Structures are given as structure tokens and as C-alpha cells.
Amino acid sequence: MALTVVQQKVRGFICINAHPAGCARTVERQIDSVQAARPDGVAGPKNALIIGSSTGYGLASRIALAWGFGANTLGVFFEKEPAGKRTGTAGFYHTAALHERARRDGLFAAGINGDAFSDEIKREAVETIRKSMGPIDTVIYSLASPRRVNPRSGETLQSALKPIGQQFSGRTINLANGEVTTMSVEPADDDEIRQTIGVMGGEDWRWWIEMLLEEGLLADGARTLAYSYIGPEVTWPIYRDGTIGAAKKDLAATADALHQLLADKVGGGAWVSVNKAVVTQASAAIPVVPLYVSLLFKVMKAKGLHEGCIEQLQRLCFDHLRDGVSPQVDADRLIRLDDLEMRDDVQRETIAPWLDVTTENLSQISDFDGFRRDFNQLFGFEVEGVDYAEPVETEASL
């Protein structure tokens, strides 16, 4: 028992603690959203593995599959447990709350807390699936990580957020003080590109799928999906045409190879879903994104088009993954959940004020307040219905 009042502690662009009740409320809200959106009589995946399941798009995937279709879920994530006076990480509390609610609702939900890139955690997942779940029909790959230890070479790879070929200079918001500034990033060298592809590209996804195939743990027709982003041209030098974009191209090429492999072996397939820009721990760290997202949210909210992770994943599940449909794709075989973000009118109105934004007018011109609220909510703060003056239990178990 460790009842305490938890006050938010922020360093730079990350928050170093989390509020258990706020995180639990966030999970409940996502479950409510899926239940309200679920079409009558819909059926879909029964046995899902979600790699990167504790925050952002992976958490929303798990909730949409479990409460949208009643799927059994195994989540893999890398989170810190609470220890003494230190709270656990947000993903830890999300998962504890999700498991607790699943138990109450009679849904099977198991979790593995450890490094998904390692052989050891992959083996642990195999054991759990064999013992408690049976063949998996849906594998969601939603990792976002700054580094990866390649278990076969032993090399520690670091991802970089850099342009390729030329320096990038662009406007951004300094999240530590809310100032609109211009920042410059030097181009990546070849080794930084290689390492970023090693962390955020498709190799580890492929190894997961190959292992599940070898172990006979993929069901007939099994599907796997990973997530990507394209976004507007103002972000391309640092995103799509930069190191992370090179990794995402590798992810898309991996999807094509896995698509063939799964078609041959189990009559299944692999896809990349291009999701819209949302506020997550991973995206807040990308230069330019906070400014772009703040402008985008203002426009999408005014047009009634705003979506967060769970609204995106509801669409993915109910439109593309339910029984009897195949994922709908564009000419590059990509699922486009970013269709509303990329609509001409939305893009035009988002980018028009780009050069007019200053520190002083940021809150009027953009939805920076919404960005900041979403950011705080990632860690369980500023969540409606939570009394932050009340002491809370910071210990939790999975």
C-alpha cells in the first residue's frame, strides 16, 4: 500500500511520473468509446498479439480488438513498475487497469513486460500463446523505441530523428517553455540511417512473424499490421524523407515480403496502416510535430473531424479487420486511416497560418492547449473526472 497525492513532474518534453487513477480513467474512456462505436452483430479477430500494447496506437489497438470483437489479447510492452516513492510509468498503469477490467468483463488478457526485440521475450510470448491462447489470428506491431539491441549481432542500435542529404531548418514549439522557435538539424550520416532502420524498420517485425510461423502459432488467414505515418510536406524533410522515413520504407517493404510469406503459409497477409498524427510519447519527441499537430487539431476539431488513437483504431477494426472484409488499400497497398487528416481542405487550412504563428499568438491560432492537454493525459494528468488532490494507490499489479 502506498497511498499518496501524485503531482505531475515534467522534464523537457517528457513527464517523469504518472497518475494511476488518470491512466485507468483513460483506459475506461477508450473502452466506452469502442463499445459505443461497435456495430451490431460485428465479429472479427479472436486471438490477438499486440507488440507495443501499453500506450498510444498499440494500447488503442488492444482495446479496440478486445472490446470491439471480444478478442483474447496478449500484450507485450516495456514499462517500469512502481518502486518505493517512484510511480510506475503510464503504460504500466494502463495495462494494470486494462487487465483488471478484462477480468471483470470475462475477457482473456495477458501481458509480458520486457524487451520485445529480445529472443527471450519472444520465447516467453510463444509459451504464453501455446499454453493459454492457441493460434493467433492478428498480430499488431506498434513499437516505438529510441533504441534496439539486435539479439543476433549483440549491437545496440540508436534511432536518430534527422534529415537525409541536407540540413533541415524549421519551425517548432519548445515544449519545455511553449516558445515557437526555429530549429536546425544536421543531416544524418550513413551509419545513423542504418541504425534508425535497424530500430524502427521491419527486421524485428519479420522475426516475430517468422518465429510464430515456425512454432505453428499463426491461425489460418492470420493477418499482421504495423503502423506508419506520411503527413504534410512541411514535415517531410525531417520525417518522410529523413531517417525515420527510411525506416518506414523498410517497414513497408517488410510488409510486402510478409504478405507473400503469410499468403503462402497460412493464407493470410501483412499490411502497413498509415495513421493520422496524434499526441503520443513517441510523436511529441519529433521536431515540428507539436506545431503541426496543434494547427491540425484546431482545423479538424472545427470541422468535426478530430480523432485520437481510439477513434482511428475503431475505424481500422470495424472497417478493415472485421470478419468478411479485406483491408482496403491505396495504390501502394497502404491502409489510409490518415484520409481525413490529408483531405485537401484540412491540409490547406492547417498549413496556411504556418508562418504567422508566434509564441504570443500560438494559443489563438492553434490548438496548442489541446496538444498540451493530450500530452498531460498521456501520463494520466488533466483527465476529467479525476480528483488530483486525493491520495491514490500507486502500487498496482498486472
Catalogue the active-site residues.
Answer: 239
- Considering only residues 130 through 159, tell me which ones interact with ligand NAD, judged by CB under 6 A: 142-145
Phi, psi (degrees; rounded to nearest 5) at 334:
-100, 140
Instruction: Give the residue, chosen from 159, 275, 350, 366, that forms a contact with ligand NAD under the rule CB under 6 A.
Output: 275
- Considering the rule CB under 6 A, would residue 381 count as an interface residue with ligand NAD? no
Bridge-based pairing of strands 156-158 and 147-149 is antiparallel
Q: Which residues have a Cβ under 8 Å from the Cβ of 274 and sit 6 or more positions away?
A: 227, 228, 229, 230, 334, 335, 336, 337, 338
Cα four-point dihedral sign 255, 277, 112, 42? negative
Between residues 143 and 185, which has the closer beta carbon with respect to ligand NAD?
A: 143
- Considering the rule CB under 6 A, would residue 280 count as an interface residue with ligand NAD? yes
Q: Are 157 and 147 in contact (CB under 8 A)?
A: yes
Q: Which residues have a Cβ under 8 Å from the Cβ of 106 and sit 6 or more positions away?
A: none
Q: How many CA atoms lie within 13 A of 373 on its CB side?
A: 12
Between residues 238 and 278, which has the closer beta carbon with respect to ligand NAD?
A: 278
Q: Which residues have a Cβ under 8 Å from the Cβ of 231 and sit 6 or more positions away?
A: 239, 240, 277, 292, 338, 341
- Considering the rule CB under 6 A, would residue 180 count as an interface residue with ligand NAD? no
Q: Are 284 and 377 in contact (CB under 8 A)?
A: no
- Considering the rule CB under 6 A, would residue 55 count as an interface residue with ligand NAD? yes
Between residues 38 and 148, which has the closer beta carbon with respect to ligand NAD?
A: 148
- Considering the rule CB under 6 A, would residue 47 count as an interface residue with ligand NAD? no
Between residues 143 and 219, which has the closer beta carbon with respect to ligand NAD?
A: 143
Which residue has the closest beta carbon to ligand NAD?
Answer: 56
Cα distance from N-terminal residue to C-terminal residue, the chain: 15
Between residues 69 and 379, which has the closer beta carbon with respect to ligand NAD?
A: 379
Between residues 24 and 76, which has the closer beta carbon with respect to ligand NAD?
A: 76
- Considering only residues 345 through 374, tell me which ones interact with ligand NAD, judged by CB under 6 A: none
Between residues 45 and 88, which has the closer beta carbon with respect to ligand NAD?
A: 88
List the one residue out of 262, 184, 164, 274 whose CA is nearest residue 226.
274
- Considering the rule CB under 6 A, would residue 283 count as an interface residue with ligand NAD? yes
Tell me the three cell numbers of residue 262.
Answer: 503469410
Q: Residues binding ligand NAD: what is the number (CB under 6 A)?
A: 29
Can you tell me which residue has the cell 479472436?
46
- Considering the rule CB under 6 A, would residue 254 count as an interface residue with ligand NAD? no
Q: Are 235 and 289 in contact (CB under 8 A)?
A: yes
- Considering only residues 72 through 131, tell me which ones interact with ligand NAD, judged by CB under 6 A: 76-79, 91, 115-117
Distance in angstroms (rounded) separating the CA atoms of residues 288 and 292: 6
Instruction: Give the residue, chosen from 45, 52, 82, 287, that forms a contact with ligand NAD under the rule CB under 6 A.
Output: 52
Instruction: Give the residue, chosen from 160, 164, 258, 282, that forms a contact with ligand NAD under the rule CB under 6 A.
Output: 282
Distance of closest approach, residue 228 Cβ to ligand NAD, in angstroms: 6
Instruction: Give the residue, chosen from 238, 277, 321, 346, that forms a contact with ligand NAD under the rule CB under 6 A.
Output: 277
Q: 200-239 mask for ligand NAD (x: CB under 6 A)?
A: ---------------------------xxx----------
Q: Are 227 and 335 in contact (CB under 8 A)?
A: no
Q: Are 45 and 138 in contact (CB under 8 A)?
A: yes
Residues that bind ligand NAD (CB under 6 A): 52-58, 76-79, 91, 115-117, 142-145, 227-229, 275, 277-278, 280-283
